[in-house]
Structure 1
Amino acid sequence: MAVPDPFPAAALPNPALVAALDGFWIADAEGAAKVDRADAVRLLTSTPTIMANVPLVAAKLGYPELDGLDILELFAFVHPARFSVPTVEGMADFLGLDRPETGADAAIMLRSMAATLLGRVSLPDWREKEGAWPIAQALARARWGWANIVLQAMEPPARPERSVFTALPQWEEGPPPAQPRTVRLEEEEVDRRLSALLGPDAERRDGQRSYAAAVSRAFAPREVEGAPNMVLAEAGTGIGKTLGYLAPASRWAEEAGGTVWLSTYTKALQRQLDGEMIRLYPDEAERKKRAVVRKGRENYLCLLNLEDAVQGSFGGRAAIYARLVERWARYSAGGDMIGGDLPGWLTSLFGRTAQAALTDRRGECVYAACPHYRRCFIERAARASLDADLVIANHALVMVNAARGKSEGRGLARLVFDEGHHLFDAADSTFALHFTGAETIEMRRWIIGPERKTKGRRRGLTARLGDLVAFEEEGALLLDEAVERARILPGEGWLKRIVDGMPDGPVELLLAEVRALVLARAKANEAGYGLETELVEPPAALVEAAAACERALEDLAVPLRRLGARLVRLLEEAPDWLDAPARARVEGALGGMEWRLQTLSGWISLMARVGGPPDSDFVDWLALDRFEGRELDMGIRRHWLDPTKPLAKVVMEQAHGVVVTSATLRGRVAEGEAPADFDWQVSEMRTGAAHLSLPAKRFQVDSPFDYAAQTRILVVTDIKRGDTAQLAGAYRRLIEAAGGGTLGLFTAIARLKAVYHRIHGPLAEARLPLYAQHVDPVDAGTLVDMFRADPRASLLGTDALRDGVDVPGESLRLVVMEGVPWPRPTVLHAARRAAFGGKGYDNLITGGKLAQAFGRLVRRASDRGVFAILGSAVPTRLTTVFPGNVEVLRVDLATAARIVEEQAGLREGVAQAHSAA
């Protein structure tokens, strides 16, 4: 049922434009007409025109600088913190309007949707009315295209309204949480909790119940210090592992009075877990108290940054974005700007830079000195997690908190790592050390602060600590000394100076030597990637530059260490003026100082090893980052050869119980003769279990799906490697055979773009929409939402779409990989390949990617589809990662297209039968 429309579409003077599959269409009060590209551009350059997703339409027109009245921005104003798929069809669904059938219908519909949204702002029961009027006035001053129309449709409030900075609730300080009690879960109580989560009408699934029982072993009391109860649990797709581990986790949290951290790798699974909490805690108030989503500080809106932005530090489009974010902040559940209830497409309309400026990405928080400290989203989430039963986080945050020694309330003693097959990669990123231009300039900014007249809140140590050390001369002198010595770090214009051969200071001189050696030794590789070379046999100039850099970094670290020691002493002595807010400031500053000092110490250690004997635990190399021929950064990189060593030491050994679970946890591809438990040995190697003093408990249960009946696996053998025309032709043929519903996966962005530009036109003529990561100016999460919402759409993407994408139903019926996703031959991969089994290591990495890609295809019992790999060079050993009862067929393209067409027809029939049932 459509919402009453007190603002008639006929009253809108603005035309609407859509870029539809059947061409460009313009609609006004008289109706719709088809226009060519040139006419559309002429209209947009002369008349404010309504569009849905202006950057996307402008890209299709070939004029990315075009502007217009974006209905998505109007939606974000009218319904902040609510989501709609950012297409005409998606918004029609949200607004209760009939979906358009043609481009002409869509153009007319755009005007109707705008009228509907404008009508809602005049309704007395408009749900998001509070705070709208002053924001609309501010948007008018920022020259937002919709502002005057919105103000005409709205009624001003009867009395002045509070700003978001005073309207948001304040958090309250509570007592320290009690330590969890020692309890032991009985299998019967875990089974009862699982039954309650499933509901009375749910079918009993023995695999899920066995899984829950196995996972509950991780919640037994720990018996040996440094040796957690660790469970490695592989549960095939469809088992229901989320509820399977929520049952013992929630039960233990209640019985023990402790906190369980549920860690994921992807934001999609975080959102899914958050959604499952309603089963545990139907009451919203209880749910907010007992289940908390936690992310890194850089994910949350910083209210002080927002205040600076709306007071004039932002201009142009960024100022409009800041006001829309201000509007959202009043209604947001948690202030999470990345993966929370701020639609990802809103940021895409304005650019990531505008978003980054509103978060605390540099660790510059002033804590209790901030006027918004008591309303801070970050602090509220941190305090909520102190008493929560369940904290939903990500692998990186869990590892960083453990590395920083932050147990957060009742600790990181009980951990569940879902998507556990990504633990190795997450640890690799977390425990790596990069000494690059970008990293060092961030260190300089953190210490010195702004060095030129710029708007914004960037603050150095003096602004954050000056008044805390002003009472004593020595502290003030140390602060001044640290700021002065930080000037050895690269400043503005550092990259140009290096490229021009005019480095300034010891750090820039070292980076210049790194760049010269990389250019001299590195082999040119595929376009889009940077260059790198091993840090072996460095020339004397590089060694001397590293030694000079080491001395300069040590000189910088000295006053910072002493300053940190004085802050510790200040907390210990606790003078009369050190009240709770001041103590919070000191603790916050000290935490940031300790983390930066760890980074400095790592850099100093790295400099000392340049030219010396290699450390067998690490892989060091020199890198020059480039994009499309343009140099971006350079430096020395250090990664653990086996990052699960620090993972086990820093994270696992501190915990009492750890669950690592995934649908693809074990490594199934063996080279030559392998031991009977080879797959589990791989799992233990990739998760850190191999480095613990007690063995992990193993559990495995197969998927309940009948993959032999539901899927076909094809290797298309007549596609010549390296022939883009053949590759594009194969994608087009298969997508047309499936009638859309295709996820195409690529290992190289360049090939993805080439295929997209060859096939998107012909597919549009067949009325099959095609979206593409790295082509469409839309974030990956939103692209998946758009793909999921249209069963005739297809989506091309890279690794980000291979993992964590959940598209059940008709929208995904074909997965196509451009070829075998072998690892890129980097310095780091070469070192690990040599250490972990040569070709066998390549097989494991590649097999895991294939298994994950195949896992996108079937998400529920009614799903049917085809998984296809293009190219004849698919070793038989890699096909062992697929379900054993599914035959892998090696066929030509014509046969593959016929099989895809047949399977698509079968799927449609099954879906209709399930719907009827």
Structure 2
Amino acid sequence: MSSTDYRTLVRANYRKLSESIQGFKPRREQNFLVAEIGKVLLGQYDLSRRILVAEAGTGIGKSLAYLQASIPWARLNNKKVIISTATLALQEQLINKDLPLFQPHCQPSFTYTLAKGRARYCCRQRLQDLLQGKSQIGMFDTADTLTPAQQNQLATLWQALEQNDWAGDRDSWPEPIVDALWQQIQTERHSCQPQLGHTHCPFHQARASLDKADVIVVNHALLLADLSMGGGIILPEPETCIYVLDEAHHIAHIAREQGSARLSLRSARRNLEQFNKQVPALAATLKDEGQSAITRSQQALQQLIPSLTELYRQLQAAQRAGDLIPDDQGCLRFAAGELPELLSHSLSTLKDEHKQLAQGLTRLQNELAEALKRQPGNSSVSGAMAAVSLQQLHTDEALGLCELMLKAIGPGHTPPARWLEQGKNDITLCATPLAVGHLLEQWCWSRAAAVIMVSATFTALNDFSYFRRAVGLRHDDGSQYLRLNSPFDYPGSKLIIPQLSCEPQDPGFDELLATEIPRWLENAGASLVLFSSYRQMNTVAGTLRDKGHSLLVQGEAGRQALLELHRMKCDGGQPSVLFGTGSFAEGLDLPGHYLTNLIITKLPFAVPTSPVEEAMAEWITLSGGNPFMQLTVPEASRKLIQACGRLLRTETDQGRIIVLDRRLLTRRYGPALLSALPPFTRET
């Protein structure tokens, strides 16, 4: 394919699309984004590394831009387009609006679908077994049984599945399915394999549809789960994919979650004890063929169960002796990732014993697979596979925790955050990688056919460095960076920073807010007030309601219900005031008269309270850096831009933003935060 052919197709598709939209207005920034994506895909910047990081402000039309640029190139080069998002709202927009809009006007033609993880699909065999009483709700609590209502729901699910009235995915079932029930029938990675005769498995039917689709929409968690397993497990192989990562500023955080591991010692022991009780039944099912695998698994179990018991006992004794003291939240973080000798020695033993169990379980699963081939449809064998599958899952998770806890860190490398959590009746060991850039490079950047990352908020303090470090990109590795301003009329709206008498950390700040907020609500139609904490929000809300103010407060009703009531009041010409916290500062779309007055009570500085945040701050300090300037301020800059982005949602919107935090004017970081904001007309 020549670059001329590709460009000709893109222009022709754009012309047909623009002619089909009534009142279509060309957007210069959108066209520039299409062109830059095209240049990256054609290899005009770097043939060996087709990566673009594009910050495109609200209103540019990012989704239609990357659809126009990526789909024709992928179709001409026999690649798949994987569009990954952070939110369900954007997935729904792509599937229900943007892709159907572009599809009729695109050449070459394409098909698209939505991908979901295994856990969103039921396993036909597990559903049938549970319905027939061959499984039970409480695998580790024999007091739990199926209620009549659950029996009826299972029967209805089975009938719908058998009659092809239901595709087997949880999201398409019209009624809620409680977690405890769904977990007993959901598909699992180890047991659901097409070669075992599961031709009618809902997950594998959905997986087959992915193979046929040209464009696949996923969420970041599913994408990274697939990549962390090597790719090609649920989604196509990375080498065959163009990844379009929308809302990509979330990628590092989700990759960190994907790389995390946990092990609850008493729960793990109970799981192993329960599985140990099932081993005789497994032996009877396999007869002589699987005795070697049974023996190996039993030997590992006989070592592991006492080891977990002993480690739990030792940790309790260390706490009583004052050697290991959790904080008020029951958390004890190991400074600089250094484990106490007691823990490192025990985890080394657990790691070896879990490896032995994993090997035994793999052999057991292979023997059961062969048995099922000889006896297709044998419910005893498939039930045994489900039991082994569940234990394989637990064993893999435990092994991952041991490896991450014990991972040696070379000089200059960032250690994982490592800590324990003391619960009421259990102790949980936890580990999370802090630096995930090398994982993303290994999983995706170095393997993908191309990667296009887009977001409205990549830069912090007018620079890509913060994001680049987080995701493992370098300024000189061939990756391209693009920043496009929003076409909105920012100078037509005001940014007001009042001269207040105190700052957020001062004792009287709550009282100040209760006085200042009503002042800025006077004569305002639609207002959104953003708080840094639920405590502060509820305190101020109580005070204002005592004074007669009508408020819609986050948490007092569902998000959609609150927004619907807000819109109804605005449409009826009534003033409406929404109170919300950080989650209302991102992804909230209130265009036009639904929001004209935005009040931000406090700069969004995050206090490092979680073990992961504390560990990141600690490591920067140990490396000679300043965690406040390197972490806290850049993240606050990004969040402040997001919060201010709630005001203008269309090109004709106008309004005002009031920031009730004078630190923007009095602290040395204030000018940098202000200069990173869009060019509102500023008042003090």
**TM-score normalised by the chain length of structure 2:** 0.78
Displacement of 1:211 in angstroms is: 0.3
Q: 2:311 maps to what in 1?
A: 506
Provide the rounded CA distance (Å) in 2 between the counterparts of 1:473 and 1:353: 36
Displacement of 1:310 in angstroms is: 11
Q: 2:472 maps to what in 1?
A: 688
Residue 889 in structure 1 maps to residue 676 in structure 2: no
Q: 1:209 maps to what in 2?
A: 31
Q: 2:141 maps to what in 1?
A: none
Q: 2:95 maps to what in 1?
A: 274
Q: 1:535 maps to what in 2?
A: 335
- Choose 643-652 or 860-869, whichever is displaced more: 860-869
Q: Equivalences for 1:210-225 in 2 at 5 Å?
A: 210-220=32-42
Q: 2:629 maps to what in 1?
A: 840
Provide the rounded CA distance (Å) in 1 between the counterparts of 2:564 and 2:151: 27
Residue 386 in structure 1 maps to residue 211 in structure 2: yes
Q: 2:552 maps to what in 1?
A: 770
Provide the rounded CA distance (Å) in 1 between the counterparts of 2:519 and 2:287: 70
Q: Equivalences for 1:901-916 in 2 at 5 Å?
A: none
CA 271–758 in structure 1, closer or farther in 2 if over 3 Å, else same: farther
What SS does the aligned partner of 2:589 have?
Answer: coil
Deviations 1:262-290 (A, max 9, x none): 1111222112211222113469xx99x92
Indicate if the aligned counterparts of 1:802 and 1:856 stay in contact, CA closer than 8 A: yes
CA 623–506 in structure 1, closer or farther in 2 if over 3 Å, else same: closer
What SS does the aligned partner of 2:416 have?
Answer: strand
Provide the rounded CA distance (Å) in 2 between the counterparts of 1:466 and 1:737: 78
Displacement of 1:745 in angstroms is: 3.0
Provide the rounded CA distance (Å) in 2 between the counterparts of 1:249 and 1:259: 9
What SS does the aligned partner of 1:624 have?
Answer: strand
Residue 237 (structure 2) aligned to one of 386, 404, 411:
411
CA 872–430 in structure 1, closer or farther in 2 if over 3 Å, else same: same
Indicate if the aligned counterparts of 1:230 and 1:659 stay in contact, CA closer than 8 A: yes
Indicate if the aligned counterparts of 2:187 and 2:203 stay in contact, CA closer than 8 A: no
Q: 1:187 maps to what in 2?
A: 7
Q: 1:550 maps to what in 2?
A: 348
Deviations 1:313-366 (A, max 9, x none): 5438878987998999899986654xx5668xx75xx9x756764774976855
Q: Tell me the amino acid that sits aligned with residue 64 of structure 2.
A: L
Residue 619 in structure 1 maps to residue 437 in structure 2: no
Q: 1:577 maps to what in 2?
A: 374
Provide the rounded CA distance (Å) in 2 between the counterparts of 1:222 and 1:262: 23
Residue 880 in structure 1 maps to residue 675 in structure 2: yes
Displacement of 1:555 in angstroms is: 1.8
Residue 831 (structure 1) aligned to one of 618, 641, 646:
618
Q: Tell me the amino acid that sits aligned with residue 280 of structure 1.
A: F
Indicate if the aligned counterparts of 1:262 and 1:390 stay in contact, CA closer than 8 A: yes
Indicate if the aligned counterparts of 1:183 and 1:221 stay in contact, CA closer than 8 A: no
Provide the rounded CA distance (Å) in 2 between the counterparts of 1:581 and 1:219: 51
Indicate if the aligned counterparts of 1:510 and 1:546 stay in contact, CA closer than 8 A: no
Indicate if the aligned counterparts of 1:514 and 1:635 stay in contact, CA closer than 8 A: no
Q: Tell me the amino acid that sits aligned with residue 537 of structure 2.
A: L
Indicate if the aligned counterparts of 1:420 and 1:687 stay in contact, CA closer than 8 A: no
CA 846–389 in structure 1, closer or farther in 2 if over 3 Å, else same: same
Displacement of 1:697 in angstroms is: 1.5
Provide the rounded CA distance (Å) in 1 between the counterparts of 2:530 and 2:153: 33
Residue 59 (structure 2) aligned to one of 234, 238, 246:
238
Residue 147 (structure 2) aligned to one of 312, 315, 318:
315
Residue 249 in structure 1 maps to residue 106 in structure 2: no
Q: Equivalences for 1:435-474 in 2 at 5 Å?
A: 435-437=263-265, 441=267, 445=271, 471-474=289-292
Displacement of 1:655 in angstroms is: 0.8
Residue 646 in structure 1 maps to residue 414 in structure 2: no
Provide the rounded CA distance (Å) in 2 between the counterparts of 1:709 and 1:465: 76
Q: 1:752 maps to what in 2?
A: 537
Displacement of 1:243 in angstroms is: 0.5
- Choose 862-871 or 596-605, whichever is displaced more: 596-605
Q: 2:487 maps to what in 1?
A: 704
Q: Tell me the amino acid that sits aligned with residue 334 of structure 2.
A: E
Provide the rounded CA distance (Å) in 2 between the counterparts of 1:655 and 1:555: 36
What SS does the aligned partner of 1:427 have?
Answer: helix
Q: 2:513 maps to what in 1?
A: 727
Displacement of 1:430 in angstroms is: 1.4
Give the % identical residues: 20
Deviations 1:188-233 (A, max 9, x none): 32233334444434111121111012112443379999x5310111
Gaps of 5+ in 1: 1-180, 453-459, 491-503, 670-678, 891-917
Q: Tell me the amino acid that sits aligned with residue 688 of structure 1.
A: G
Provide the rounded CA distance (Å) in 2 between the counterparts of 1:328 and 1:733: 58
Provide the rounded CA distance (Å) in 2 between the counterparts of 1:575 and 1:325: 25
CA 771–263 in structure 1, closer or farther in 2 if over 3 Å, else same: same
Provide the rounded CA distance (Å) in 2 between the counterparts of 1:262 and 1:461: 44
Provide the rounded CA distance (Å) in 2 between the counterparts of 1:355 and 1:789: 38
Q: 1:402 maps to what in 2?
A: 227
Q: What's the Cα RMSD here?
A: 4.8
Q: 2:460 maps to what in 1?
A: 667
Q: Equivalences for 1:733-748 in 2 at 5 Å?
A: 734-735=520-521, 737-739=523-525, 741-748=526-533
Deviations 1:147-172 (A, max 9, x none): xxxxxxxxxxxxxxxxxxxxxxxxxx
Provide the rounded CA distance (Å) in 2 between the counterparts of 1:444 and 1:624: 18
Indicate if the aligned counterparts of 2:84 and 2:243 stay in contact, CA closer than 8 A: yes
Provide the rounded CA distance (Å) in 2 between the counterparts of 1:704 and 1:738: 25
Provide the rounded CA distance (Å) in 2 between the counterparts of 1:735 and 1:324: 52
CA 567–321 in structure 1, closer or farther in 2 if over 3 Å, else same: closer
Q: Tell me the amino acid that sits aligned with residue 348 of structure 2.
A: E
Residue 871 (structure 1) aligned to one of 661, 664, 674:
661
Displacement of 1:769 in angstroms is: 5.0
Indicate if the aligned counterparts of 1:514 and 1:634 stay in contact, CA closer than 8 A: no
Displacement of 1:568 in angstroms is: 6.7
Q: 1:133 maps to what in 2?
A: none
Q: Tell me the amino acid that sits aligned with residue 66 of structure 2.
A: Y
Q: Tell me the amino acid that sits aligned with residue 653 of structure 1.
A: S
Indicate if the aligned counterparts of 2:279 and 2:294 stay in contact, CA closer than 8 A: no
Provide the rounded CA distance (Å) in 2 between the counterparts of 1:625 and 1:361: 31
CA 718–688 in structure 1, closer or farther in 2 if over 3 Å, else same: same
Higher relative contact order (CA closer than 8 Å, sequence separation 6+): 2
Indicate if the aligned counterparts of 1:624 and 1:634 stay in contact, CA closer than 8 A: yes
CA 619–403 in structure 1, closer or farther in 2 if over 3 Å, else same: closer
Q: Equivalences for 1:293-332 in 2 at 5 Å?
A: 293-300=114-121, 308=130, 313-315=145-147
Q: 1:94 maps to what in 2?
A: none
Displacement of 1:451 in angstroms is: 9.1
- Choose 304-313 or 703-712, whichever is displaced more: 304-313
Displacement of 1:409 in angstroms is: 6.1
Deviations 1:542-565 (A, max 9, x none): 522442343134223213224426
Displacement of 1:509 in angstroms is: 3.7
What SS does the aligned partner of 1:727 have?
Answer: helix
What SS does the aligned partner of 2:592 have?
Answer: coil
CA 859–462 in structure 1, closer or farther in 2 if over 3 Å, else same: farther
Q: 2:667 maps to what in 1?
A: none
Provide the rounded CA distance (Å) in 2 between the counterparts of 1:291 and 1:461: 45
Deviations 1:472-491 (A, max 9, x none): 3212323444555553587x
CA 300–821 in structure 1, closer or farther in 2 if over 3 Å, else same: farther
Q: Tell me the amino acid that sits aligned with residue 680 of structure 1.
A: F
Displacement of 1:415 in angstroms is: 0.5
